[in-house]
Amino acid sequence: MIAELQCVVLDCPDPARLARFYAVVLGGEADRPDRRWALGEDWATVHTPSGLVFCFQRVQEYLAPAWPDPARPPQAHLDFAVPDLDRAQEEVLALGATLLDGGDGVRGWRVFADPAGHPFCLLRH
Protein backbone atom coordinates (compact mmCIF):
# COMPACT_ATOMS: atom_id res chain seq x y z
CA MET A 1 0.00 0.00 0.00
CA ILE A 2 1.36 3.40 -1.02
CA ALA A 3 -1.41 5.71 0.21
CA GLU A 4 -4.67 6.07 2.12
CA LEU A 5 -7.69 7.74 0.49
CA GLN A 6 -8.06 11.08 2.27
CA CYS A 7 -11.03 12.62 0.46
CA VAL A 8 -12.86 13.00 -2.81
CA VAL A 9 -12.68 16.50 -4.32
CA LEU A 10 -15.34 17.91 -6.63
CA ASP A 11 -14.74 20.99 -8.77
CA CYS A 12 -17.57 23.51 -8.63
CA PRO A 13 -18.44 27.21 -8.88
CA ASP A 14 -19.62 27.63 -5.25
CA PRO A 15 -17.92 25.32 -2.68
CA ALA A 16 -19.97 26.45 0.34
CA ARG A 17 -23.29 25.87 -1.44
CA LEU A 18 -22.26 22.40 -2.63
CA ALA A 19 -20.98 21.50 0.86
CA ARG A 20 -24.33 22.47 2.41
CA PHE A 21 -26.14 20.37 -0.22
CA TYR A 22 -24.06 17.24 0.43
CA ALA A 23 -24.15 17.73 4.21
CA VAL A 24 -27.93 17.36 4.05
CA VAL A 25 -27.87 14.53 1.50
CA LEU A 26 -25.26 12.50 3.42
CA GLY A 27 -26.11 13.59 6.96
CA GLY A 28 -22.67 15.11 7.40
CA GLU A 29 -21.17 18.26 8.84
CA ALA A 30 -20.15 21.09 6.50
CA ASP A 31 -16.86 22.88 7.09
CA ARG A 32 -15.91 21.16 10.33
CA PRO A 33 -12.49 22.42 11.43
CA ASP A 34 -9.82 19.94 10.33
CA ARG A 35 -6.04 20.46 10.38
CA ARG A 36 -5.74 18.95 6.90
CA TRP A 37 -7.56 21.78 5.09
CA ALA A 38 -7.79 25.54 5.25
CA LEU A 39 -11.43 26.45 4.73
CA GLY A 40 -12.41 29.53 2.78
CA GLU A 41 -14.39 30.83 -0.15
CA ASP A 42 -12.46 28.55 -2.55
CA TRP A 43 -12.62 25.33 -0.48
CA ALA A 44 -15.29 23.61 1.61
CA THR A 45 -15.68 20.17 3.17
CA VAL A 46 -18.27 17.70 4.39
CA HIS A 47 -17.35 15.10 7.02
CA THR A 48 -19.80 12.20 6.72
CA PRO A 49 -20.93 9.92 9.56
CA SER A 50 -19.05 7.03 7.90
CA GLY A 51 -15.79 8.98 8.09
CA LEU A 52 -15.55 9.78 4.37
CA VAL A 53 -14.73 13.39 3.58
CA PHE A 54 -15.97 15.21 0.50
CA CYS A 55 -14.21 18.42 -0.51
CA PHE A 56 -15.38 21.11 -2.89
CA GLN A 57 -12.95 23.28 -4.83
CA ARG A 58 -13.85 26.52 -6.62
CA VAL A 59 -12.99 26.53 -10.31
CA GLN A 60 -13.18 29.82 -12.18
CA GLU A 61 -15.23 29.63 -15.37
CA TYR A 62 -16.58 26.26 -14.26
CA LEU A 63 -18.42 24.25 -16.91
CA ALA A 64 -20.74 21.64 -15.44
CA PRO A 65 -20.59 18.10 -16.81
CA ALA A 66 -23.13 17.41 -19.56
CA TRP A 67 -24.01 13.77 -19.02
CA PRO A 68 -23.35 11.72 -21.10
CA ASP A 69 -21.52 14.13 -23.44
CA PRO A 70 -17.82 13.15 -23.50
CA ALA A 71 -16.92 16.73 -24.46
CA ARG A 72 -17.95 17.80 -20.91
CA PRO A 73 -17.12 14.83 -18.67
CA PRO A 74 -17.44 14.60 -14.86
CA GLN A 75 -14.81 16.63 -13.01
CA ALA A 76 -13.27 15.27 -9.83
CA HIS A 77 -9.96 14.21 -8.36
CA LEU A 78 -8.79 12.07 -5.45
CA ASP A 79 -6.54 13.11 -2.57
CA PHE A 80 -4.32 10.45 -0.98
CA ALA A 81 -2.54 10.89 2.36
CA VAL A 82 1.03 9.54 2.42
CA PRO A 83 3.59 9.42 5.23
CA ASP A 84 6.55 10.19 2.93
CA LEU A 85 5.78 12.45 -0.03
CA ASP A 86 9.07 11.88 -1.85
CA ARG A 87 8.89 8.10 -1.58
CA ALA A 88 5.22 8.01 -2.61
CA GLN A 89 6.07 10.17 -5.63
CA GLU A 90 8.77 7.72 -6.70
CA GLU A 91 6.36 4.82 -6.35
CA VAL A 92 3.45 6.34 -8.29
CA LEU A 93 5.79 7.53 -11.06
CA ALA A 94 7.16 3.97 -11.31
CA LEU A 95 3.57 2.75 -11.71
CA GLY A 96 2.99 5.08 -14.67
CA ALA A 97 1.74 8.33 -13.10
CA THR A 98 2.85 11.69 -14.48
CA LEU A 99 3.85 14.62 -12.27
CA LEU A 100 1.66 17.65 -13.08
CA ASP A 101 2.64 20.01 -10.24
CA GLY A 102 5.59 19.29 -7.96
CA GLY A 103 4.82 22.16 -5.64
CA ASP A 104 7.18 24.81 -4.43
CA GLY A 105 8.88 22.87 -1.64
CA VAL A 106 6.63 24.47 0.99
CA ARG A 107 3.26 22.95 0.20
CA GLY A 108 2.60 19.51 1.57
CA TRP A 109 1.04 18.18 -1.64
CA ARG A 110 1.81 17.33 -5.26
CA VAL A 111 -0.47 16.80 -8.25
CA PHE A 112 -0.19 13.83 -10.61
CA ALA A 113 -2.14 12.26 -13.45
CA ASP A 114 -2.89 8.56 -13.41
CA PRO A 115 -2.02 6.52 -16.53
CA ALA A 116 -5.40 7.48 -18.08
CA GLY A 117 -4.87 11.20 -17.35
CA HIS A 118 -7.12 11.60 -14.28
CA PRO A 119 -5.61 14.04 -11.78
CA PHE A 120 -4.91 13.03 -8.18
CA CYS A 121 -2.96 14.55 -5.30
CA LEU A 122 -0.53 13.07 -2.83
CA LEU A 123 -0.63 14.93 0.48
CA ARG A 124 1.81 14.66 3.36
CA HIS A 125 0.01 12.80 6.15
Q: List per-residue pLDDT tens for the chain, 125 residues long.
A: 999 999 999 999 999 999 999 999 899 999 999 988 888 999 999 999 999 999 999 999 998 888 889 998 888 888 999 999 999 999 999 999 999 998 877 778 999 999 888 899 999 88
Sign of CA dihedral 21, 25, 27, 33: negative
| Pairing between β-strand 119-124 and β-strand 76-82 as defined by DSSP bridges | parallel
Range 27-56 burial, b when 16+ CB lie within 10 A, else e: ebebbeeeeebebeeebbbbbeeeeebbbb
Q: How many CA atoms lie within 13 A of 3 on its CB side?
A: 23
- Indicate the DSSP class of residue 40: B
Q: Where are the domains of the chain?
A: 4-124
The CATH number of the domain covering residues in 4-124: 3.10.180.10
